[in-house]
Structure 1
Amino acid sequence: MTRETMVNAYVEGAADLDAETAALIARRQALLGPAYRLFYEKPLHLVRGEGAWLYDAAGEAYLDGYNNVTSVGHCHPKVVAAIAAQAGVLATHTRYLHAGVLDYAERLLATLPTGIGQMMFTCTGSEANDLAVRIARAFTGGTGIIVTETAYHGVTQAVAEFSPSLGPAVDLGVHVRTVPAPDSYREADVAGAFTASVEAAIADLTRHGIRPALFICDGIFASDGVFDGPAGFLQGAVAAIRAAGGLYIADEVQSGFGRTGDAMWGFQRHGVTPDIVTMGKPMGNGYPVAGVALRPEVVAEFGRKARYFNTFGGNAVAVAAATAVLDVIEGEGLVANARDVGAHLRDGLRGLADRHPCIGDVRGAGLFIGVEIVSDRAAKTPDPARTAAIVNGLRAERVLISACAKGANVLKIRPPLIFTREQADLLVARLDRVLGGLGA
């Protein structure tokens, strides 16, 4: 998207800024260049985080209802301690033997379905998806990629070509086909419609002489508007890509590590087993670690012909951070917490719909929730302007969320997995106040 159309973007001149904020933005633009973007009409200057809270330079606390990177909470002491301890002993790469990366790989693979038996490590989800595409192409002999029409999968050259949410200025590859998101709000037969769309994309690739290599999606369709169900609707699409000789890649960067509350991985809600699973962001709670899990037969051909190395991927400190995150998720029961608090939060949001007609739909799984904002409930008309006003209104109320979807009209709520019922109630109360102030 352009600077003007990126959801929840700071646009210069759209709001009055205090002198200190304006000076910091000017300095940032001068030093970092024009490609970076900021959130909110009035960007935040954050200096500290703890649990589900972020603090600005003036010491004001903001409830974080959005941050999936620090999924077990900002500056979780167990993760911080693990990083510091390992950094004080050894920080080196995977060309030396080290038991830490093996122990972690074994433990993480045990959370995945039988058949997914090997791990490769990167630093970011973008790198993970880039590597997954290379492997899929080596295995299938194809190049064609199918994604949803507002998907985001990363920023490398290869991955940006199948990340339509980056906007029209970032060209999609000639080998890429997009399909409509599985819109449970507007589509009665979600499974049937989605399967038919994927089959049509496969047919179009084939018609143009492009052999399909893969279908990739995240388990909650996070950038498309947060679509969680009905559970199982992915099965037809997965069967279609495999029948065409391609692979199914589950991008779990956003929906993985207990986020959806039903299981450790988002795809598990649909009764499908991927050929490749990619992961990132929440894996190290802010420390850069990501990975690719896959069926051994899928990577065998790639491994015979190409060696893989990543200077920092899977280094000892990254593995210590990732191990500590697993310890916290399991030890603090955060998958169950995501399920229970997420259900409580969705109930509260649905309660708001009874008196705020702009809320057309509340959906999601676990602590990943989408609230569709419409100007007409009967027509289900997207209302992006009001959505932006709500996001910025909540920022003024010191609650942080964002927005997504093709229509830029879905509130994207994705708090840390440690979120409590009390914090969920606070988010709902502040949203109620913002909606009331907007006459919505």
Structure 2
Amino acid sequence: MTSDLLARRARLMGPNVPTFYDDPVEIVRGEGVWLWDAEGRRYLDCYNNVAHLGHCHPKVVEAIAAQAATLNTHTRYLHRGILDYIERLTGKFGHDLSQAIMVCTGSEANDVALRMAQAVTGKTGLIATDNTYHGNTTAVAHLSTRRPPIGGYPGHVRRVPAPDSLAPLGGSLAAQAQAFAAGVARAIEELEAAGHGFAGLMLCPIFANEGTPGVGPGFMAPTVEVVRRAGGLILCDEVQPGFGRVGAAWWGHELIGFAPDVVTLGKPMANGHPVGAVVTRPDVMAAFREAFGYFNTFGGNPVSCAAALATLEVIEDEGLVENAREVGAYALEMMRGLHHPLIADTRGFGLFFGIEFAREGAPQSDFCGRVVEAAKARGILLGRVGRAQHILKMRPPMPFSRENAEMLVETLDAILREMPA
């Protein structure tokens, strides 16, 4: 029973361990875009970008099993698997992003990226938005906004106003790019005045945890100019938009149109196997390697590299970037046909969608939560995001089809028709 499992979790894992949904689901099996609970009920997964290729993709399962049956050890021994993978991975990047460190999680990757910025600049000051999340190591938790760190945010961190669709920076969507850049410029001045100096700006290129607030190509241009003028690095967190999810490109920074100094990768990189990476230029890598004696026991092990390489090959072989573009456009068009008094905006990048609920500019968090619960009751798994958790978040596995999209939108339509404003 659910109550027994929850009691057991509390006894063995402690309090406040988060779960999805008011009545949590015990998931026991996955295949493709589908998940099954302990009672045999099937759910359309419209949330889990971890299973990038779909749950339990046979090619990745086979690669993991075959390599685990042959060898698994760390990178202080020579092994071709990590080199083969990094070569294939960096072939997907421009801007001389040609070297990589393999780690286990996006949190670790972002932690390393911060140190790279400090190693290159010799300064410690870091900037992120005031509505973001970049992981759970101590260093990156200081950037995140879910819970303030004990003792408050450290002096070397500045959090700048994030782009927003309901209350855009500068008073309008047209003014928002320049207003965001102005916020970064002020933060840099503060860090320099405080003696920390400016090392780097970390952000997700589509501002995913900020609610994907409708930024587009060219948005980052004023900010890039500010950062470059100050001598800092741009640290690009591609954990959510990367590996083709945005449809129009392999990477979010390609879509938005800027050149990062460091790119971090995680969740979808090996279809659920714990793999992350930091990709950067040789000059940045050299500065980091000289400043820090970094080694990661499990990062880049042969099994992880086999899983990551298989994932990369499936994205290419099954045309999943093209699928994200084509099905994403089809799904977004249908979503924009949904009608409800509380829908303030509907937006998306490839297979990443958001529906924002508000009344006269005020976020409608409770209503969004009710939509998520109602969808779960009808066999659709969704999530929430945004400063007030008022934005419906959808990022299904990449094989998501037109038929899946139709099921999702038809279900949302039925829910919204039954829920009064």
Structure 2 match to 1:264: 250
Q: 1:372 aligns with which of 356, 369, 374?
A: 356
Q: 2:139 aligns with which of 154, 158, 166?
A: 158
> 1:183/1:305 Cα in 2 relative to 1: closer, same or farther (>3 Å)?
closer
Alignment of 1:354-393 (within 5 A): 355-376=339-360, 380-393=361-374
Structure 2 match to 1:415: 396
Gaps of 5+ in 1: 1-19
Alignment of 1:59-78 (within 5 A): 59-78=40-59
- Counterpart-to-counterpart distance in 2, 1:391 and 1:169: 32
- Counterpart-to-counterpart distance in 2, 1:72 and 1:219: 22
Q: Does 1:321 align with 2:302?
A: no
Structure 2 match to 1:229: 215
Per-residue Cα deviation, 1:90-144 (whole angstroms, up to 9, x for no partner): 1111111111110110111010013112110100000001111112111111111
> 1:259/1:391 Cα in 2 relative to 1: closer, same or farther (>3 Å)?
same
Q: Does 1:22 align with 2:8?
A: no
- Counterpart-to-counterpart distance in 2, 1:304 and 1:409: 45
Q: Does 1:332 align with 2:313?
A: no
Structure 2 match to 1:8: none
- Amino acid across the alignment from 1:368: F
Per-residue Cα deviation, 1:343-362 (whole angstroms, up to 9, x for no partner): 1111111100xx31211101
Structure 1 match to 2:272: 286
Structure 2 match to 1:426: 407
Q: 1:243 aligns with which of 218, 229, 236?
A: 229
The number of residue pairs the alignment matches comes to: 416
Does the 8 Å contact 2:358/2:364 carry over to 1? yes
C-alpha deviation, 1:383, in angstroms: 0.6
- Amino acid across the alignment from 2:181: T
Per-residue Cα deviation, 1:246-304 (whole angstroms, up to 9, x for no partner): 10001001110001011111011122111100000000100001000001111212212
- Counterpart-to-counterpart distance in 1, 2:381 and 2:252: 24
Per-residue Cα deviation, 1:298-347 (whole angstroms, up to 9, x for no partner): 12122124322111100000000000100110111111111111111111
Alignment of 1:186-197 (within 5 A): 186=168, 187-188=172-173, 189-197=175-183
Does the 8 Å contact 1:132/1:278 carry over to 2? yes
- Residue 412 of structure 1 aligns to a residue whose secondary structure is strand
Does the 8 Å contact 2:200/2:234 carry over to 1? yes
Mean Cα displacement is larger for which, 299-308 or 407-416? Answer: 299-308
- The Cα RMSD (Å) is 1.4
Q: 1:125 aligns with which of 76, 81, 106?
A: 106
Does the 8 Å contact 2:119/2:291 carry over to 1? no
Per-residue Cα deviation, 1:388-437 (whole angstroms, up to 9, x for no partner): 11111111111111111112211111101110011011111111111122
- Counterpart-to-counterpart distance in 2, 1:97 and 1:66: 38
> 1:58/1:391 Cα in 2 relative to 1: closer, same or farther (>3 Å)?
same
Does the 8 Å contact 1:165/1:223 carry over to 2? no
- Residue 196 of structure 1 aligns to a residue whose secondary structure is helix
> 1:171/1:77 Cα in 2 relative to 1: closer, same or farther (>3 Å)?
farther
Alignment of 1:211-226 (within 5 A): 211-226=197-212
Does the 8 Å contact 2:134/2:143 carry over to 1? yes
C-alpha deviation, 1:167, in angstroms: 5.3
Structure 2 match to 1:7: none
- Counterpart-to-counterpart distance in 1, 2:261 and 2:120: 11
- Residue 361 of structure 1 aligns to a residue whose secondary structure is strand
- Counterpart-to-counterpart distance in 1, 2:408 and 2:152: 37
Alignment of 1:74-89 (within 5 A): 74-89=55-70
- Amino acid across the alignment from 1:348: M
C-alpha deviation, 1:171, in angstroms: 4.0
Does the 8 Å contact 2:201/2:233 carry over to 1? yes
Alignment of 1:5-154 (within 5 A): 20-154=1-135
> 1:410/1:120 Cα in 2 relative to 1: closer, same or farther (>3 Å)?
same
C-alpha deviation, 1:242, in angstroms: 2.0
- Amino acid across the alignment from 2:326: D
Alignment of 1:337-348 (within 5 A): 337-348=323-334
Does the 8 Å contact 1:284/1:318 carry over to 2? yes
Identity %: 50
Q: Does 1:306 align with 2:292?
A: yes
Q: 1:436 aligns with which of 388, 398, 417?
A: 417
Report the TM-score when normalising by structure 2: 0.96
- Counterpart-to-counterpart distance in 1, 2:101 and 2:163: 30
Structure 2 match to 1:11: none
Does the 8 Å contact 1:235/1:270 carry over to 2? no
C-alpha deviation, 1:207, in angstroms: 2.5
Per-residue Cα deviation, 1:222-241 (whole angstroms, up to 9, x for no partner): 11111342211012112212
- Counterpart-to-counterpart distance in 2, 1:214 and 1:418: 35
- Residue 336 of structure 2 aligns to a residue whose secondary structure is helix
- Counterpart-to-counterpart distance in 2, 1:402 and 1:168: 25
- Residue 165 of structure 1 aligns to a residue whose secondary structure is coil
